[in-house]
Amino acid sequence: MPQNADNVLDHFNLFRQPEYLEMFEKKKKEFENHHPDAEVERVVEWAKTKDYQEKNFAREALTVNPAKACQPLGAVFASLGFESTIPFVHGSQGCVAYYRSHFSRHFKEPTSCVSSSMTEDAAVFGGLNNMIDGLANTYNMYKPKMISVSTTCMAEVIGDDLNAFIKTSKEKGSVPAEYDVPFAHTPAFVGSHVTGYDNVMKGIVDHFWNGKAGTAPKLERVPNNSINFIGGFDGYVVGNIREVKRIFESMGVEYTILGDPSDVWDTPTDGQFRMYDGGTKLDDAANAIHAKATFSMQHFSTEKTLPLIAASGQETYSFHHPIGVRATDEFLMKVSEVTGKPISPELTRERGRLVDALADSSAHLHGKRFAIYGDPDLCYGLASFLMELGAEPITVLASNGGKLWEEKMKQLFASSPFGKNCTAYAGKDLWHMRSLLFTEPVDFLIGNTYGKYLERDTGTPLIRIGFPVFDRHHYHRYPVWGYQGGLNVLVWLLDKVFDEIDRHTNVVAKSDYSFDIIR
């Protein structure tokens, strides 16, 4: 074999050695029921046609590569936004390993999360004993200030009652009676990670504002002049939350971030291990009931949370992942209106710089055709920004989008001449997107890491924006909100445009007349 201790080959070179090539060919012939190459090629070409697209879009009982994750993933995200809080997922160890690895691969940071380790016996007899032991072990081993409980498929299918289980666990002495254990049911077989985020955020707000599940009196609201801010499920949370804090502080706004995991996923390497870092202080989460208003940066991440907050007497405002000049303007003007604080000269200058950057680069993006997929609010924000640039978001697809999102997208398209040929697809998956990229070609595709397979298959260049991004590093440290965030997104778009121009104009003496130094 070509591998030896004196010259260790990585997989890029190792699997190209003759021994491996022979092994792969043998495996294909003897174990993979391989069809003749000509037949494979015929089917591949047919799968690019309008005829195949019609059959593809007619399927009802099958989903292929949905651009979404399950509820408990979003539940873990929301839980990690609070001070010294550990997410406790009532389910199997394997599920929690997925959530931890998914976040760790995107943020390049360890992600703390525990499970009740349900196995076959719990699936038959219920997971109460797992909850009793699990809460006790978590409380004693990891010393959290709060344990935030959610569920997986197994617990939901058998009907485990979290409220009753947590009460029983406290009676058994797993944790003190007054200890904070908010919870939410997050069945993984419905909804998505966005739904799970919303359910847990609602559960935590309800816990602190409405009596801590019966262990404390309901809080009486005494309005003040501060505002609350909820970011929603956001793969750019490290950069975005810090940018929002900077914006509020430049305006002199009093604020509370409800759910801030930005430090958890950006801990320094300085010799000290931090299981917990940053996060919204629990007292601040409780006192947030007194705020004048709550702002949600992503409407579809807070569809249940905002009505609960509004029921306390607060004003609530929601946005759709604002990217670019107009969307940031709308956000800042509403913050200014509600708080009475003027938009700072610093932010006004930043706006001018972004407008200047758009003017510098508009010729390279005007008229370009894009396909977008991802979470509903992110898709809306990106589509809005593209039209602001004079580009056309021809295809916008959200596997976890619904009829309301689809209608909002239609209204957005109708607001601009660049939206007249654009279509939103709610509830569709990446196999639907594949058909659309063949039958309605675009210049660029915007989405998460999984789009690289669409890029390879359809030849549509991929711009990585979304969650998760596994195969590129540190995007999550850059904001996409605010004027500075809009500039970041603009640069990412332009980089890909220029790379593609260079890639197609670099043949010496044939196409290099456009292989320019200046763009």
Copy the structure tokens of residue 282: 């629990």
Give how far Cα 360 sits from Cα of 290, 488, 495, Å.
Answer: 45, 15, 14
**Among this protein's residues, is 157 annotated catalytic?**
yes
How, if at all, do strands 85-90 and 146-151 pair? parallel
What b-and-e string marks burial along 383-393, b requiring 16 or more CB atoms within 10 Å of the CB?
Answer: bbbbbbbbbbb
DSSP label of 231: -
From 157, 190, 355, 491, active-site residue = 157
Sign of CA dihedral 168, 173, 175, 177: positive
Q: Do 391 and 364 touch, CB atoms closer than 8 A?
A: no
From 95, 96, 113, 153, active-site residue = 153
Contacts of 383 (CB under 8 A, 6+ apart): 372, 393, 396, 409, 412, 413, 419, 422
Copy the structure tokens of residue 362: 């508009």
Q: Which helix (H) or strand (E) holds 463?
A: strand 462-464
3-state secondary structure of 465: coil
The secondary structure of the chain in percent helix, strand, coil, rounded to multiples of 5, reads 50, 10, 40
What b-and-e string marks burial along 322-341, b requiring 16 or more CB atoms within 10 Å of the CB?
Answer: bbbbebbeebbeebbebbeb
Among residues 315, 343, 338, 316, the alpha carbon closest in space to that of 328 is found at 343
**Among this protein's residues, is 153 annotated catalytic?**
yes
Distance CA 210, CA 186 (A): 20
Bridge partner residues of 245 (DSSP): none
Torsion, Cα of 55, 61, 65, 70 (10° steps):
150
CA atoms within 13 A on the CB side of 377: 26
For the stretch 49-55, contacts whose Cβ atoms lie closer than 8 Å and that sit 24 or more positions apart, written own/partner, are 49/438, 49/439, 50/439, 52/435, 53/435, 53/436, 53/438, 53/439
* Residues annotated as part of the active site: 153, 157
